[in-house]
């Protein structure tokens, strides 16, 4: 029987294909549009001053200064949060693999991590602030770091868990067969095998941490000075964007766009870095 290209089902097939391609282009195009918007509005307000100076008098009325305080603050916040999250998430990921395996308890812990991942960051922020109020503490770098670590913990652990679960069972069994304890398997075999995965997970979590505004809004506060102590409030890039956009002065808003540009560039670098590193290091693992 000859194929009739005008049969209803073939027409539907072609139509659906076109619609699907259009959706793909729409999604990709949206990313392009977002990046283009940020670049177009951010570049004109960019200057060396923005990167190297703290806000001076009258900064919020469009006078001199930069957002170095926010850049440094954000790096400290996300860096500290990431280190703290790593200290907790590596043991959890190893425990899930080396000790719990695919058991029922393992899936409960994974469920708990997924639930934590889903909790909105504003709730973490409110939680952190409520604790700080009960303890009589004020906004500080340390509080921001701890809240960010809580937010990054599930992201990092699940990403690591995902990578280790792809490790061939034979590798683990071989190590156990020659008499390794579970701990030795975890530290000497699994950790080395999943190193690319750890790095990707850490960078992913760092990117999530540096971009989050809702959680640091009350816990880390905001200040025009560069933070020097864990117990002082600190500025952060997302909040710098947010506060400057609310300004009635066009110059200040333009600087808000520039701050958004800086934040986007940092996130893009981290995201590409993760991809690059994991593919580079991925060569040395047993697949």
Taking CB under 8 A as the rule, does residue 129 contact another protein?
yes
Nearest to 233 by CA among 129, 136, 139, 148: 139
Backbone angles phi, psi at 4, to 5 degrees: -95, 110
Taking CB under 8 A as the rule, does residue 264 contact another protein?
yes
Answer for which of 65, 76, 163, 212 binds another protein (CB under 8 A) is 212
Only segment of 44-52, 57-65, 100-108, 223-231 that touches another protein (CB under 8 A):
100-108
Answer for which of 92, 141, 143, 205 binds another protein (CB under 8 A) is 92
Q: Shortest approach of another protein to residue 35 CB, angstroms?
A: 8
> In the range 15-34, which residues lie near another protein by CB under 8 A?
16-17, 19-21, 23-24, 26-28, 30-31, 33-34
Taking CB under 8 A as the rule, does residue 9 contact another protein?
yes
DSSP character for 54? -
> In the range 36-55, which residues lie near another protein by CB under 8 A?
37-38, 41
Q: Shortest approach of another protein to residue 149 CB, angstroms?
A: 11
Answer for which of 152, 238, 255, 278 binds another protein (CB under 8 A) is 238
Alpha-carbon torsion 253, 257, 262, 267, what sign?
positive
> In the range 61-90, which residues lie near another protein by CB under 8 A?
88
Do residues 90 and 105 touch, judged by C-beta distance below 8 A? no
Do residues 187 and 119 touch, judged by C-beta distance below 8 A? no
> In the range 147-186, which residues lie near another protein by CB under 8 A?
150, 153-154, 157-158, 162, 165, 181-184, 186
Answer for which of 123, 138, 170, 173 binds another protein (CB under 8 A) is 123
Task: Measure Cα distances from 135 to 129, 187, 218, 219, 233 in Å.
Answer: 10, 38, 15, 13, 16
**């699940």: which residue's tokens?**
158
Nearest to 54 by CA among 256, 223, 225: 225
Per-residue tokens: 261: 């540009």
């Amino acid at each position: 029987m000859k194929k009739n290209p005008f049969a209803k089902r073939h027409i539907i097939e072609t139509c659906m294909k076109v619609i699907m391609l259009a959706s793909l282009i729409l999604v990709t195009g949206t990313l392009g549009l977002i990046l283009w918007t940020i670049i177009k509005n951010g570049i004109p307000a960019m200057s060396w001053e923005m990167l190297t100076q703290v806000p001076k008098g009258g900064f919020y009325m469009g006078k001199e200064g930069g957002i170095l305080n926010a850049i440094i603050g954000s790096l400290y916040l996300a860096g500290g949060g990431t280190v703290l999250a790593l200290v907790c998430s590596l043991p959890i990921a190893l425990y899930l693999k080396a000790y719990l395996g695919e058991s029922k308890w393992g899936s409960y812990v994974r469920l708990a991590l997924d639930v934590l991942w889903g909790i909105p960051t504003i709730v973490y922020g409110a939680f952190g602030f409520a604790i700080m109020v009960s303890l009589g503490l004020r906004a500080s770098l340390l509080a921001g770091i701890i809240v960010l670590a809580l937010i990054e913990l599930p992201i990092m652990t699940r990403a690591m868990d995902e990578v280790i679960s792809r490790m061939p069972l034979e590798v683990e069994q071989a190590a156990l067969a020659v008499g390794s304890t579970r701990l030795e398997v975890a530290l000497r075999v699994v950790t080395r095998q999943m190193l690319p995965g750890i790095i990707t997970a850490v960078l992913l979590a760092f990117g999530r941490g540096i971009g989050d505004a809702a959680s640091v809004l009350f816990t880390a506060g905001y200040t025009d000075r560069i933070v020097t102590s864990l117990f002082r409030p600190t500025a952060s890039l997302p909040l710098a964007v947010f506060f400057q956009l609310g300004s009635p002065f066009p110059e200040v808003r333009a600087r808000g766009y520039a701050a958004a540009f800086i934040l986007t560039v940092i996130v893009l670098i981290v995201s590409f870095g993760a991809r690059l590193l994991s593919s580079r290091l991925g060569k040395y693992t047993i697949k």
